[in-house]
Amino acid sequence: MSIKAMDFSLRINPSICFTQNPPKPSSKLRFLTVRCSLSLTSDDADTGLAERPWKVADARLVLEDGSIWKAKSFGASGTQVGEVVFNTSLTGYQEILTDPSYAGQFVLMTNPHIGNTGVNFDDEESRQCFLAGLVIRSLSITTSNWRCAETLGDYLAERNIMGIYDVDTRAITRRLRQDGSLIGVLSTEQSRSDEELLEMSRSWNIVGIDLISGVTCNAPYEWVDKTKSDWDFNSNGRDQETYRVVAYDFGIKHNILRRLASYGCKITVVPSTWPAAETLKVKPDGVLFSNGPGDPSAVPYAVETVKEILGKVPVFGICMGHQLLGQALGGKTFKMKFGHHGGNHPVCNLRNGRVEISAQNHNYAVDPASLPEGVEVTHVNLNDGSCAGLAYPALNVMSLQYHPEASPGPHDSDCAFREFIELMKSTKQAA
């Protein structure tokens, strides 16, 4: 017979429980009585699994190096292959889950406690979750936030995204730091052998795949939403003029569009394959090349589009857009050991010496040594000295390897949008 629900009281002797400030000996408090209730659903009883946090390990993460990590599943079930990367952000897991640049990747959060603020309606960065799955240490069993609309587990289940918890994320992170990003297979299917999952992980590769085609929009559309006034900051002195911007959607995050709109841009978002000639036909004041997933060398059509637009209007590249610009200018990109993923990366603006705490998410970088003369490295990542920004003033080009639209706490990099406005303004005035 299975227990469905049970109420009971616990009598606790405070002198045993209060390790820091035990009640004085004279205190009348002898025992604390705590009312508890325990329930097991009939499904749980059928499968023999108790509800969280007592669930037993029912998932495996098999890495291509042969290591096998037992874990507990939440969200969707099934079997999924992807590249495992670690993210050091303390907050913002919903923005991370909906950042299309994570397509094909499992995101492992180094912050051990995830899910405590649930998910809300406002923090979505795109129309769906494109990542392969989520790997966390501890899944909060309660949610508490004034904007919370749903638990993280329900949200992932509805979007068919797999998650695992109770896995040693510190050990996996150290392995990734030492050996570089690894391909892994996450599975809740007990019928699949470890060997089969290992073979799957070893026969899949993220390099050389066009992941942008799976995340870009199907047709052009207008974007009008601005950052909500109670969340906006630093809005004084913004130009009242309107600038017409075409934004290439390689996996664009909504906040890039909100920030551009807040700075007075009238935006048309176009698919990644939108011909340069069509873009130039509408005579935009500027073109934005967005962030996006995967290997920039796997999308030569996008590099060609960038080349055709270069020098005709001011352009701003963000992350994947920055890498495509680097290639279009004649430079090379390379895959980093484990990339940068987190909301706490220090970047130095070499033009003014200012240090920004930035949000980053990339596995590839532009090799500065490969760039032709005239291309200026404007920003460097202070953790490893890698290229974090470029400019080519002769062609009105600016680009950042990181995310000026993100709000990981600091808004240090938001000024990049003002710079883009200034670039469009000065080009317009000079025409």
Ligand X SMILES: NC(=O)CC[C@H](N)C(=O)O
Binding ligand X by CB under 6 A: which of 163, 293, 342, 389?
293
292 binds ligand X per the rule CB under 6 A:
yes
Which lies closer to ligand X via its Cβ, residue 284 or residue 292? 292
- The span of 146-154, 173-181, 217-225, 291-299 binding ligand X (CB under 6 A) equals 291-299
The one-letter code for the residue type at 1 is M
Reference 119, options 154, 72, 67, 70; nearest CA is 154
Cα(88)–Cα(18) distance, integer angstroms: 34
Which lies closer to ligand X via its Cβ, residue 324 or residue 423? 324
Tokens of 82: 């992807």
363 binds ligand X per the rule CB under 6 A:
yes
Q: Which residues pair with 114 in a beta bridge?
A: 139
294 binds ligand X per the rule CB under 6 A:
yes
Element (DSSP H or E) covering residue 46: helix 42-47
- Map residue 364 onto helix, strand or coil: strand
Kindly identify the residues of this chain, within the stretch 46-105, that bind ligand X according to CB under 6 A: 101
Reference 340, options 320, 358, 360; nearest CA is 360
In Å, what is the CA distance from 126 to each residue of 20, 96, 197?
47, 10, 30
Binding ligand X by CB under 6 A: which of 291, 358, 381, 413?
291
- CA 319 to chain centroid, in Å, comes to 12
Binding ligand X by CB under 6 A: which of 364, 392, 417, 420?
364
Kindly identify the residues of this chain, within the stretch 109-128, that bind ligand X according to CB under 6 A: none
Binding ligand X by CB under 6 A: which of 361, 378, 396, 399?
361
319 binds ligand X per the rule CB under 6 A:
yes
Which lies closer to ligand X via its Cβ, residue 72 or residue 362? 362
Which lies closer to ligand X via its Cβ, residue 345 or residue 362? 362
Which lies closer to ligand X via its Cβ, residue 140 or residue 363? 363
Q: Which residues pair with 38 in a beta bridge?
A: 6
> Tokens 């999308």 correspond to what residue?
299
Binding ligand X by CB under 6 A: which of 183, 320, 390, 421?
320
Cα(388)–Cα(303) distance, integer angstroms: 19
Number of residues that bind ligand X (CB under 6 A): 11
CB of 39 vs ligand X, minimal distance in Å = 43
- The span of 30-38, 75-83, 230-238, 361-369 binding ligand X (CB under 6 A) equals 361-369
Radius of gyration of the chain (CA): 25
Omega before residue 53 within 30° of 0, cis: yes
CB of 370 vs ligand X, minimal distance in Å = 16
Cα(223)–Cα(217) distance, integer angstroms: 13
Catalytic residues: 319, 403, 405
Which lies closer to ligand X via its Cβ, residue 154 or residue 210? 210
Cα(291)–Cα(403) distance, integer angstroms: 8
- The span of 1-9, 146-154, 279-287, 362-370 binding ligand X (CB under 6 A) equals 362-370
341 binds ligand X per the rule CB under 6 A:
no
Alpha helix positions (H), 310-414: 320-328
Binding residues for ligand X (CB under 6 A): 101, 291-294, 319-320, 361-364
